[in-house]
Amino acid sequence: MNNLLMAFKNLKNNFSFYALYLISVSFVITVFFAFTSFSMNTVMLEKISGNGRVETMCNVISIFLMAFVIFYMSYSNRFFLRRRTKELGVYALLGYRKTTVLLLLTIENLLVCFGAFIVGIIFGSVFHKGIVFGITKLLDLSINNSEIPFFNINAVAKTAGFIFAIVIVLALSNSRFLFKTSLIGLVRFEKSAERKMKFHAVLAIIGFLSIISGYILAVDILRGVKSVWFTIGYTPIAMLTLILIVLGTMLFIACFLPFAVQTSKNNKRKFYTETKIITSPNFVYHMCSNAKTLIMLTLLSAATLTVSSVMALSLYYPIAAVSRMAPSEIECRIENESEIDAIKQIVNKHLSQNDVSFLQTNIYKITSTSEQLPMEYSVGNSKGDSDNETILRNAGFECISYSGYISLLEAQGRKKALEQISKLSDSECILVKYQSASNNNETGNIYPLLIGNEEISVTVIATTLDNPISFANSIGTLIVSDNLYDTITEEFAPETRVLSINGKSLKDNEDLYVDLSEYLNASPYLQGSSHRVHEIFSLSSSTFLLLGFLVILFFIATGSILYFNNISAINDSKADYEILRKMGYADKKVKKIIKKQTISFFSIPFLFGLVDCVFATLVYKIAVMQNILKESLILYIPTFVAILLTFIIYMIYYSMTVHTCCKTILKR
């Protein structure tokens, strides 16, 4: 009972110190409970996972979440244990047995975890309900929310059991520390908790060169097929780049930065100022004494920024690419003329207003005798990219008329593309590129076309990424003049007939798409812009949601560890700040020194993580994503948003840290 009262009193007397710890642990438990509730939500999983993919991901991510929560709780426990070693030493001097001290620490952990558990299941349930509501609206699912309980009993039991297991792990860790450390060790432990790292000029240079080499390797991927990423292979170069950057980061932080600051002391004019003469030695000392923690935070920040950036880009890029993969609201192949009337009847049945246009495009396959033909001439397969068939399509240009091209762009509402098109003569053509035209620009190339018994040469006056027909129905599209197109129609039968249907009333009409798919027997040639977007959200939303749980935990852990370490550093230097105030330093000047000391520990992980994130995102974009869109900064807006969000979270933690530090030092 005495131990319980002492635990309550300790928490009450040090509530301001334990407040953020309690809040951060509550956040962690909230995320964990929300994830556990989602993974046990059979109603939702049945709707979004037909093949068990989401359930498998839940099981995998659950392991990562558990490991991460254990790591964070263990680190936080170690931090607070370090801050209380003097107090524990006093207990030992007063005659308390180590078993009694261990029991006291365990009760305190139980109380904190119990409070975090209560907060976590309440806010976690709200968070889970919000997730269910968001996914239901996003994917237009028919779910009866009354079937989903506010508190999932199984999730509550699993979370409670997991927290109890964590308390046992923390108790074992504390017992190992207490019984291993002597009385004098307890008293001195706070000053020697982390072994100081010495810096050397040679290691500093190696670290600098290592990290620069890693970045150079990452940038080399911009050379395309000539880069080592293609000639040697993605996996070995990716591993080498990762090792160089991680090793470089470790040596750069542990050796180069302290070495650079130490060297800057030689500049007497800049060093001997009323703030820098205090902040520079403090920076070097804390860099050496907390190098391991700072390295861990930097790598954690890099992982957080990279994962959030890649997630945002992976979701946005396929949606942006829909304008090329499926430019029309509805598009399908026509085998006979009777199908057109049947399709029109199905469409009219779903119309809310009469704004729909039907355009039939006859595509003619024409071969060329040129020795240098574009990749689009033979790439692809006979059943369209969407079906992932292995049967190669017949090589040749797929010709459409200039007027047909213009009509399709107008129906699709692509005004910017129309502004860039000039009329064609009979010897000119426009080539629709599959990948970005910057890779290989065929402008100026001459292609002899075999039409009947004669050879007619056309010159490519422009290449474009504005394809009017989906890649499932046409690759290697060549836009020719109307006169040349008429000549082709006299000699050949159409290779493919494509019906393009557009109109605002068709947008997001999933019922119409389903009816057409049933009529066309789930044809792989049936494409739809709104359907493609809906499909992307349906397939990827659960994946990004589950990864989002990990990213949130990364944010919480990184910010909290930075907060705790800065508070620890300020408390270690409390006597030094008192001396500064007695020497005549005004409170405003002391605040400035505290801000500079704090910003260095926040800026290093963020800036290094930001640079790593930029290079990692660049490699990911080029190596994994098809380059079918024009290179533009607009494509990276989701990445910018993810970075901005991370910056805002860092600034919130920074403001909280500065406020607490100033309050600790300047209190009268």
Q: Which tens digits make up the pLDDT trace of 304-319?
A: 888 888 888 887 888 8
Of 291 and 345, the one with more pLDDT:
345
Whole-number pLDDT of residue 388: 43
What confidence tier does 387 reach under pLDDT thresholds 50, 70, 90? Answer: very low
Angle between helices 15-39 and 153-180 (to 10 degrees): 140
How many whole angstroms from its chain centre is CA 259? 34
Q: How far is CA 479 from the centre of its chain?
A: 39
For residue 374, report the phi and psi dihedrals to the nearest 5 degrees: -70, 160
Cα 140 from Cα 134, distance rounded (Å): 10
Are the C-beta atoms of 360 and 340 separated by less than 8 Å?
A: yes
Higher-scoring residue by pLDDT: 303, 225? 303
Specify whether the CB–CB gap between 102 and 171 falls below 8 A. yes
Buried b (16+ CB within 10 A) or exposed e, 354-366: eebbebebbbbbb
- 78 confidence band (pLDDT: 50, 70, 90): confident
Tens of pLDDT, residue by residue over 442-473, are 888 999 999 888 889 999 998 888 889 998 88
Q: Is 361 helix (H, G, I), strand (E, B) or coil?
A: strand
Euclidean distance between CA atoms 387 and 48, whole angstroms:
22
Q: Do the bridges between strand 446-451 and strand 496-502 make them parallel or antiparallel, or are there none, so unpaired?
A: unpaired
**Lookup result for tokens 């929310």:** 145
Report pTM: 0.72
Separation between Cα atoms, residue 619 and residue 234, nearest integer Å: 10
User: Going along 425-514, which residue ranges are E strands?
Assistant: 428-432, 446-451, 454-464, 477-480, 496-502
Q: How far apart are the C-alpha atoms of 266 and 268, rounded to whole Å?
A: 6
* Pairing mode of beta strands 454-464, 428-432: parallel
Q: What angle do CA 639, 645, 651 make, to 5 degrees?
A: 135
Mean pLDDT of 149-155: 80
- CA–CA separation, 321 and 326 (whole Å): 8
Amino acid at the residue 467 = N
How far is it, in rounded angstroms, from Cα 416 to Cα 376? 24
Residue with the bigger pLDDT between 53 and 600: it is 600
Cβ atoms of 33 and 155 within 8 Å: the answer is: yes
pLDDT of residue 555: 78
Cβ 18 vs Cβ 83: under 8 Å: no
pLDDT score at 484:
93
pLDDT of 177 strictly over 70: yes
Residue 191 confidence (pLDDT) above 70: no
**Measured between alpha carbons, how far is 523 from 335 in angstroms, rounded to an integer?**
12
**Quick one: which of 141, 122, 44 has its CA closest to 546?**
44
Lowest mean pLDDT among 1-15, 102-116, 393-407: 1-15
**Angle 599-600-601 from CA coordinates, rounded to 5°:** 90
More confident position, 38 or 381: 38
Top pLDDT among 420 and 613 is at 613
User: Lowest mean pLDDT: which of 20-29, 367-376, 528-537?
Assistant: 20-29
Q: Which residues contact 273 (CB under 8 A, 6 or more apart)?
A: none
Dmax (CA) of the chain: 108
Instruction: Report pLDDT digits (tens) over 8-21.
Output: 666 666 666 667 67
414 to 164, 330, 357, 407, 422: CA distances (angstroms) = 60, 16, 15, 10, 15
Confidence of residue 181 (pLDDT cuts 50, 70, 90): low
Neighbouring residues of 295: CB distance < 8 A, sequence distance ≥ 6: 249, 250, 253, 254
Rg (CA), the chain: 32
Q: Give the integer Cα–Cα distance in Å for 236 and 240.
A: 6
SS (H, E, C) 238-260: HHHHHHHHHHHHHHHHHHHHHHH
CA distance 338 to 429: 33
